[in-house]
Amino acid sequence: MLKFYNSLTRKLEEFKPIKKDSVALYTCGPTVYNYAHIGNLRTNILYDLLRKTLTFNGYKIKHVLNITDVGHLTSDADTGEDKMEKNASTKDEVFGVAKKYTDAFLENLQSINIQLPDVMPKASEHIAEQIEMIKTLMEKDFAYESDEAVYFDVAKFPRYNRLTGQKLEDMMLGARQEVVKDPKKKNAIDFVLWFKTVGRYQNHILRWPSPWGDGFPGWHIECSAMSKKYLGQPIDIHAGGIDLKFPHHTNEIAQSEAAHKKPLANFWMHGEHLLVDAGKMAKSEGNFLTLKDVTGKGYNPLTFRYLVLSAHYRTKLNFTWESLTAAQNALNNLYQEISSYEQPKVGCAEFEQRFQDAINDDLNTPKALAVAHDLIRSDYPGSAKLQSLLKFDQVLGLKLRETWEATRNIPEVVSRLIGLREEARKAKDFVRADELRQAIEKEGYLIEDTPDGYRIKKKF
């Protein structure tokens, strides 16, 4: 049975998709004004893990990940500046910034073996769909217009607090502490659907005509409009980092459900943060590391993937270079071990069942990795272990097949040294045999003697 923790009900629930054998998955993507940091990548590894686990369970997936290139402000609507326009002064420059960081992001995903989503819609290319949705909200009286913006009227949507589980009055009270500059805003908690390019946003570079004048969309509306366009409503799963629960996902739910009178998604999943020195890694905190910082120190990018898998997605993970080194050693040991295995055949059903039980239990990757290590230590033949490990890797994504294949062809010089060592051993010249073992190690291989003869491994 496949079970996920649903943030909406705050319970572990059996997962059943709306359609029998396919899953509609929407995940909130990056705001492309800077490089992704490894915290963002942790969340993207969660998306990939989710996708691979669903595939492992036999489902077809349609996965949408949005690219935010307009309307995401540095703080709240009444004071914030569009993140995308911080370092640009023309439209071409804004889109140039977006392209640069989108390309870098996609490169990051590929180097940590994340399968690219099926659709990656950009907010700026879906303005018509967003305007259409705001029109529906205006018609249904869930939205109102001021001189500066169109707002969602939170007081009209009593279930606004569903995802946070806080009291609605407390949420409203909390919002009242914020600076409100628009005198026509009814309630501080109301959020912007459409910004007019007047007043403090009069110099906003990106702008489109709308029934409410020239302007640009608020941040949240893009996900509601694009999720509906590509996946319909309701969808099976909507996921993001834990910080998106409020306001982003809370607002998405309010807009989508108010406009279409149906749930937006049946399952909501949230990944915990990656921390540095016990604080959240964030672009705004200036404490962030990119994948380049990791690879620049000589780490294989998949080491970061391994580190992320070693913690459950709903627990905080504190990043340290020591923990990354430990992950590198564990991954190298795994690679080293499989390099000695023969052609895969007939896997170990018992371990495969344990592995599936672990990942199907709300993506319990630490347990799934422990099953892989138990299998390696077991008495099964290498060919059986490899067959099962390759199956596990359909979910883990550690490139075990590529690594194993790359170690298949032992270089000529190493084969010759192995032959000489065997001769020395037969002649009981153990000093010479040991010298040859060291020569083999210098060539990047480890040789071990077992009751069935020698075993050769590639050193990682």
269 binds Zn ion (CB under 5 A): no
28 binds Zn ion (CB under 5 A): yes
Residue with tokens 């290139």: 69
Q: Which is nearer to ligand AMP, 28 or 258 (CB)?
A: 28
- Determine contact, residues 61/30, Cβ cutoff 8 Å: no
Binder to Zn ion among 205, 221, 223, 433 (CB under 5 A)?
223
Residue 248 annotated as part of some ligand binding site? yes
* CA distances (Å), origin 158, targets 139, 252, 264, 396: 18, 14, 16, 41
205 binds ligand AMP (CB under 6 A): no
Question: Which window, 3-11, 147-155, 172-180, 237-245, contacts ligand AMP (CB under 6 A)?
Answer: 237-245
- In single-letter form, the type of residue at position 84 comes to M
220 binds ligand AMP (CB under 6 A): no
Output the six-digit token pair for 50: 């989710």
31 binds ligand AMP (CB under 6 A): yes
32 binds Zn ion (CB under 5 A): no
Residue with tokens 């005198």: 183
Q: Pick from Zn ion, ligand AMP, none: which does 241 bind, CB < 5 to 8 A by kind?
A: ligand AMP
28 binds ligand AMP (CB under 6 A): yes
Q: Pick from ligand AMP, Zn ion, none: which does 360 bind, CB < 5 to 8 A by kind?
A: none
Binder to ligand AMP among 40, 124, 256, 360 (CB under 6 A)?
40
Q: Pick from ligand AMP, Zn ion, none: which does 207 bind, CB < 5 to 8 A by kind?
A: none
Three-state SS letters, the chain: CCEEEECCCCEEEECCCCCCCEEEEEECCCECCCCCCHHHHHHHHHHHHHHHHHHHCCCEEEEEECEECCCCECCCCCCCCEHHHCCCCCHHHHHHHHHHHHHHHHHHHHHCCCCCCCECCEHHHCHHHHHHHHHHHHHCCCEEECCCEEEECHHHCHHHHCCCCCCHHHHHHHHHCCCCCCCCCCCCCCEEEEEECCHHHCCCCCCECCCCCCEEECCCHHHHHHHHHHHCCCEEEEEEEHHHHHHHHHHHHHHHHHHHCCCCEEEEEEECCEEECCEECCHHHCCCCCHHHHHHCCCCHHHHHHHHHCCCCCCCEEECHHHHHHHHHHHHHHHHHHCCCCCCCCCCHHHHHHHHHHHHECCCHHHHHHHHHHHHHCCCCHHHHHHHHHHHHHHHCCCHHHHHHHCCCCCHHHHHHHHHHHHHHHCCCHHHHHHHHHHHHHCCEEEEEECCEEEEEECC
Q: Which is nearer to ligand AMP, 120 or 456 (CB)?
A: 120
Q: Which is nearer to ligand AMP, 215 or 271 (CB)?
A: 271
Q: Pick from ligand AMP, Zn ion, none: which does 280 bind, CB < 5 to 8 A by kind?
A: ligand AMP
240 binds ligand AMP (CB under 6 A): yes
Q: Pick from ligand AMP, Zn ion, none: which does 8 bind, CB < 5 to 8 A by kind?
A: none
Q: Which is nearer to ligand AMP, 301 or 382 (CB)?
A: 301
Binder to ligand AMP among 93, 132, 243, 361 (CB under 6 A)?
243
Q: How far is the CB of 337 from Zn ion (least distance, A)?
A: 41
Q: Which is nearer to ligand AMP, 110 or 202 (CB)?
A: 110
326 binds ligand AMP (CB under 6 A): no
Q: Pick from Zn ion, ligand AMP, none: which does 281 bind, CB < 5 to 8 A by kind?
A: ligand AMP
Q: How far is the CB of 145 from Zn ion (least distance, A)?
A: 24
Binder to ligand AMP among 121, 215, 234, 241 (CB under 6 A)?
241
Q: x/- contact string, 276-315, with ligand AMP (CB under 6 A)?
A: ----xxx---------------------------------
Q: How far is the CB of 201 from Zn ion (least distance, A)?
A: 21
Mark the binding-site residues for ATP, compressed into ranges. 283
By the criterion CB under 6 A, which residues form the site for ligand AMP? 28, 30-31, 39-40, 42-43, 240-241, 243-244, 273-274, 280-282
